[in-house]
Amino acid sequence: MSDSRSSWQGVATHIPAGCNKLEAMLKRKNAVLVDGVVLNGPIIDSKAGEQLIEEAYKMIIEEAVRKATDVTEKVCEWQPPEQLKKLLDVELRDSGEHHQRLLQLCQSVIRYSVKTSHPRFFNQLYAGMDHYSLVARFITEALNPSVYTYEVSPVFLLLEEATLKKMIEFIGWKEGDGIFSPGGSISNMYATNLARYKYCPDIKEKGLSGAQRLVMFTSEESHYSMKKAASFLGIGTQNVYFVKADDSGKMIPEELEKQIQRAKQEGAAPFLVCATAGTTVLGAFDPLDKLADICEHHGLWFHVDASWGGAALLSKKHCKLLHGIHRADSVAWNPHKMLMAGIQCCALLVKDNTDLLKRCHSAQATYLFQQDKFYDVKYDTGDKSIQCSRRADAFKFWLMWKALGTRGLAERVDRALALSRYLVAEIKKREGFQLLMEPEYANVCFWYIPPSLRNMEQDQEFWQKLHQVAPVIKERMMKKGSMMLGYQPHRDKVNFFRQIVISPQVSREDMDFLLDEIDLLGKDL
């Protein structure tokens, strides 16, 4: 036998004292040791692992599903960072922890996490729990698929194809292409790269050195990911021309035309316009039809970031918000927001059906995308993606859509917007509450004016004092755990609350509670 491969009898004398586990393994019949590692049998204790899964699953159902969606429970149990580190026992050690300790740690993770499925979590553009999506996540986490070739992910590739096809139908295209991505920011980066490739395909191989200066256009209200896309892709953030928006947050078409003319006069090459369907703060929808006219006239790629507002396409009542979206060259749409598909679930949809996604991003890795496979290689979609490993995110949305149907998904949108309208009506009735503007979508932006400021003239001192109100109320609600609600300044407006209504678990009573709680937490300010 060689030095690196020997029977257990030949190496037993080299086992350190007290290594009972290794001794037991070496006593197996025909045990083999290579480089000090026993190769016979698995080293994973499957029975113990399965027991942990069973016990953890029961705890997840109780603590992260039932309690986390119970309106009588806290939205969060707030702890400062240093204290939370101690409570979680975050340090990693040489020796592993025992079974019960692991369950305790899991319980602590759930206990001190923010319960985003709580009916009074209003903090972000996502909220609530969809049970069908959760089941889908359990399945994909257990199967651990990577969606790039049909041979390793046959089921999830077909489900993604079916889901993209249906989303394309609701945009209003007869055909198209798409890919699920890790987020709306990445979808916007995809669109920017596609637009650039369409304008100057040589950049893919030759790089930026000999390319003309490119300029892209987006609203001053657009998501910050457009600026990041310009940075990542080497376009440069200075070459993102931000177009003025009106008081409601919509891009002004005439201002876009001016910016395009400016870029041309500077000798630059305009190539992309990004419109927003549902801005992050105000929930505004850009005038897509008018912007499409300008793009068509100048030959520019027209991208619509509908990450937030895309859900309205499913509602016969509210789809008019996105009138003209069928004229877009690409669309970002995040089902994990209003439709609650579970983070992350985001799609980039493209009108072009000539394999543009693949031509732009393909690297033709021969170890994955062999062309002489025994099945139709058109189902190997991984070369369209900027990723290699990719989660089966479409499954969450597909299973939800199967369970609820289009009508059920549309009902979620309609109810969320109806609750928003109810909240607006209540704000108008109550003393001390003031709307910034009438909302177009599910973003309700308002100030709370405490009694001490209500009789003040609304001069500079008033606004300076009001600016300090929302942060204090936010701190109090977080430490109390009663709810979570976002606030921010915006343009020339001092800090105000931004209430987002999404979850179908939310009721009229929760809207009333929100206003009552703000008044309770802030009336002494």
CA distance 362 to 356: 10
Q: In what order do the strands lie in the sheet with 214-219?
A: 177-181, 346-350, 330-333, 301-305, 269-276, 214-219, 240-243
Query: Could you tell me the CA-to-CA distances from 198 to 202, 213, 357, 405 in Å, in that order?
Result: 10, 15, 10, 36
Q: 391, 422, 457 — which closes off a domain?
A: 391
Listed residue (189, 193, 179, 187) closest to 147, CA to CA:
179
Position 291 confidence tier, pLDDT thresholds 50, 70, 90: very high
Element (H, E) at 474: helix 469-480
Q: How many domains does the chain have?
A: 3
Q: Is the pLDDT of residue 2 over 80?
A: no
Q: 330, 356, 391 — which closes off a domain?
A: 391
User: What is the residue range of 300's domain?
Assistant: 146-391
Listed residue (269, 347, 249) closest to 304, CA to CA:
347
List, for residues 503-517, the tens digit of each pLDDT value. Answer: 888 999 999 999 999
Look at residue 19 in the predicted model and tell me its pLDDT.
55
CA distance 477 to 123: 12
Coil/strand/helix, residue 4? coil
Cα-flanking dihedrals φ and ψ of residue 336, to 5°? Answer: -80, -5
CA distance 23 to 5: 17
Cα 181-183-184 angle, rounded to 5 deg: 105
Look at residue 20 in the predicted model and tell me its pLDDT.
60
Q: Could you tell me if 51 and 181 lie in one domain?
A: no
Q: Could you tell me if 387 and 414 lie in one domain?
A: no
Query: Is 327 part of a structural domain of the chain?
Result: yes
Q: Tell me the average pLDDT of the chain.
A: 92
Look at residue 369 in the predicted model and tell me its pLDDT.
87
CA 267 to chain centre: 37
Listed residue (332, 283, 501) closest to 412, CA to CA:
501
List, for residues 399-430, the tens digit of each pLDDT value. Answer: 999 999 999 999 999 999 999 999 999 999 99
At 201, list the tokens.
Answer: 């395909």
Query: Could you tell me the CA-to-CA distances from 341 to 2, 175, 429 in Å, in that order?
Result: 56, 24, 35
Q: Could you tell me if 190 and 306 lie in one domain?
A: yes
Least confident segment among 30-44, 111-125, 162-176, 313-327: 30-44
* Contact of 504 with 131, CB cutoff 8 Å: no
CA 207 to chain centre: 30
* Contact of 405 with 419, CB cutoff 8 Å: no
Q: Could you tell me if 459 and 347 lie in one domain?
A: no
Q: Could you tell me if 262 and 320 lie in one domain?
A: yes
Q: Is the pLDDT of residue 398 over 90?
A: yes
* Contact of 497 with 503, CB cutoff 8 Å: no
* Contact of 338 with 413, CB cutoff 8 Å: yes
This prediction's pTM: 0.92
Query: Is 159 part of a structural domain of the chain?
Result: yes
Pairing verdict, β 269-276 and 214-219: parallel
More confident residue, 131 or 3: 131
Position 27 confidence tier, pLDDT thresholds 50, 70, 90: low
List, for residues 66-79, the tens digit of each pLDDT value. Answer: 999 999 999 999 99
Average pLDDT over residues 49-63: 95
Position 339 confidence tier, pLDDT thresholds 50, 70, 90: very high
Look at residue 94 in the predicted model and tell me its pLDDT.
92
Coil/strand/helix, residue 219? strand
Listed residue (348, 282, 339) closest to 314, CA to CA:
339
Look at residue 1 in the predicted model and tell me its pLDDT.
38
Q: Could you tell me if 379 and 423 lie in one domain?
A: no
Position 320 confidence tier, pLDDT thresholds 50, 70, 90: very high
Q: Could you tell me if 349 and 489 lie in one domain?
A: no
DSSP secondary structure letters along 251-265: B-HHHHHHHHHHHHH
CA distance 371 to 350: 25
Q: Is the pLDDT of residue 81 over 70?
A: yes
Listed residue (180, 199, 177, 170) closest to 301, CA to CA:
199
Listed residue (467, 480, 489, 463) closest to 517, CA to CA:
480
Q: Could you tell me if 215 and 244 lie in one domain?
A: yes
Look at residue 472 in the predicted model and tell me its pLDDT.
97
Position 11 confidence tier, pLDDT thresholds 50, 70, 90: very low
At 227, list the tokens.
Answer: 């600026």
At 59, list the tokens.
Answer: 């705890």
CA distance 202 to 198: 10
DSSP secondary structure letters along 271-327: EEEEEEBS-TTT--B--HHHHHHHHHHHT-EEEEE-TTGGGGGG-TTTGGGGTTGGG
Q: Could you tell me if 199 and 328 lie in one domain?
A: yes
Listed residue (484, 488, 487) closest to 510, CA to CA:
484
Q: Could you tell me if 376 and 429 lie in one domain?
A: no
Q: Could you tell me if 271 and 164 lie in one domain?
A: yes
Domain containing residue 299: CATH number: 3.40.640.10
Domain containing residue 513: CATH number: 3.90.1150.170
Close Cβ partners of 388 (under 8 Å, ≥ 6 residues apart): 146, 148, 365, 368, 382
